[in-house]
Amino acid sequence: MAIKTRNDRFPFQTGIHTEHLYSASQLLSSIITFGPQPNKAIVGRNAFAHEAGIHQDGYLKEKTTYEIIDPKSVGVPEGKLVLGKHSGRHALKQRCEQLGFSLSKEELDRVYHAFTSLADRKKGLLDEEILGIIQNVVGAEQARPTFIGK
């Protein structure tokens, strides 16, 4: 990937189809019954995951800030934001919008407060848990995704 990514510095060809690296790694993992370390570059579970608030903010503004390699170029569908105790409002707001919720600033502040309280006790929150927080804070009747019924 260094040769492909920095072809200006390394003007060589390998013949490797890099878009198959991730699937090849997954196949090998299934054969040998264990996979690479989660933080392993390119093929690790967390290679394209961002949890720290500053990373998430940079990633949301410009993906190449923290991803010099496009995940698709190695067969990973896309980078992901892991929402946890180090996440900021920007990342939470973006996830709420992905889930179909357009929250006011006040609602987002209340959801963020509840989110950080739970995230301090747990590593990485699932979308279902974020939905539960939205419903608890905003109210189950008001917490309806904006894309339903369109």
CATH of the domain at 13: 4.10.430.20
Q: What is the mean pLDDT of residues 115-141?
A: 82
Tokens representing 106? 């006040």
Please give the residue range of the domain that contains residue 23. 2-81
Q: How far apart are CA 72 and CA 21, in angstroms?
A: 10
Per-residue CA distances from 62 to 6, 9, 55, 66 (Å)? 19, 24, 10, 8
Q: Read off the DSSP letter of residue 81.
A: E
Q: pTM to 2 decimals?
A: 0.61
At which of 81, 106, 122 does a domain end?
81
Task: Quote the CA–CA distance of 53 and 60 in Å, as a whole number.
Answer: 10
- How confident is the model over 77-87, as pLDDT tens digits? 777 777 888 88
- Tell me how many domains the chain contains: 2
Residues 69, 109, single domain; the answer is: no
pLDDT of residue 144: 57
Considering the domain architecture, whether residues 39 and 13 belong to the same structural domain is answered as yes
The residue among 146, 48, 36 whose CA lies nearest residue 100 is 146
Residues 60 and 97 in one domain: no
Q: Quote the strand ranges of 18-131, DSSP E.
A: 49-50, 80-81
List pLDDT tens digits, range 10-33. 999 999 998 998 888 888 988 998
